[in-house]
Amino acid sequence: MPETIYGEFRSPRQMLASQEYDGHLSIHDGNMAAELGFSGAPIEGPTHFSQFVPMLHEQFGDAWFERGCISAHYQNMVVEGEEVRAFVERRDHNETLIRIGAEKRDGTPVLTGTASAGPDYGDTEISQRIARLRPADQLVILSELSVGQKGAGNPEHAIMDFDQHMGDLYPFTLNQKLAVITEPHPYYQPEQSRWTKAVIPLEMISVMTQYTSNQSGFRTKGPALGLFAGQEIRLVKGPLYVGHAYKLEREIIALSESRRTESMWIKTSIFEAQTDELVAETILNSATMKGSYANYEAEAKKLGKDISP
């Protein structure tokens, strides 16, 4: 059995309490979360990625910031005040992919996944899950979407500066995140970075790829509340830098559903704005809560769907 390396327990901060999309508050608002039966407003999943960085940097060296890949399935929500620790398998020098996970202090699992460094990224957590999906039919909330659909805004232009407010989806700045990030790193500051440019923290790559997502044109029925159910961030030719211009191209690569959610799996390719060179890719399993869409039951019945508990 591989040896497991554990990080310290940390208390991640909730920074999305005032997040808005489609003109309404998100699941990260306490009242919205309570209406759906949650104990509190959840912290966004990629926030936990920062806790892996010190251990993965130790395992893979600086290649982690250039060609690292983290791939995770979110298992249980975390609310502010709860403590979380990350853990990783100790890597054999011949291994390209290792298992990772995170848990609360009482042992409740937070996420499970894989980490690797390219060019051979291995069979990642998200790629395994996509391979096991059964084709979805008669979706209700996502009925206007299709696999292979490209983002209407392709290419979207994205940049992240230290003091840039990231909009309604992410109502904070990188500097505000760095003030409370669970694991600071010298490379996040230009004067200490090996590349002489400030590196965008792993969890903030998610923010950079999502803050312009309202341009995608991936229309869903609503209003309804969504959450991140799984996510992969893969650096191809990194790092990604603060204040650097990028282009984003989106594509729906899968549609699926569970008992409580309908999901779209969106691949976002990140290119250098000047050269159009591919530098990173992300995959997001964006799940929408069926119970949060007022017309779900009526529309599902019209389609003849079985909606029994």
Summarised one tens digit per residue, pLDDT across range 296-307 is 999 999 888 877
How much is the pLDDT for 277? 98
Residue from 184, 229, 215, 190 nearest 202 by CA: 184
Tokens representing 102 are 């995170």
pLDDT at 236 over 80: yes
292 pLDDT band, cuts 50/70/90, is confident
The model's pTM is 0.92
Residue whose token pair is 């608002």: 29
Helices (H), ranges, 167-284: 174-180, 202-210
What is the CA 104 to chain-centroid distance, rounded? 19
How much is the pLDDT for 309? 59
> What class does CATH assign to 4-119+137-302?
alpha beta
pLDDT at 118 over 80: yes
Q: Where are the beta strands (DSSP E) in 139-245?
A: 156-158, 226-235
Average pLDDT over residues 100-125: 97
How much is the pLDDT for 223? 85
pLDDT at 273 over 60: yes
Q: How many CA atoms lie within 13 A of 69 on its CB side?
A: 28
107 sits in the region (left: phi over 0; alpha: psi -120 to 50; else beta) called left
How much is the pLDDT for 211? 93
Helices (H), ranges, 61-165: 63-67, 125-132
Separation CA 123–CA 116 (nearest Å): 9
Tell me the per-residue pLDDT of 49-90, one tens digit each, with 9 for 90 and over.
Answer: 999 999 999 999 999 999 999 999 999 999 888 999 999 999
How much is the pLDDT for 304? 80
Buried b (16+ CB within 10 A) or exposed e, 55-94: bbbebbeeebbbbbbbbbbbbebbeeebebbbbbbebeee
First to last CA, the chain: 40
Residue 122, Cβ density class (10 Å: 0-12 exposed, 13-18 middle, ≥19 buried): middle
263 pLDDT band, cuts 50/70/90, is very high
pLDDT at 29 over 50: no
- Mention every residue, 6+ apart, whose C-beta is less than 8 A from residue 87: 4, 5, 6, 7, 55, 100, 101, 102, 103
Average pLDDT over residues 265-293: 96
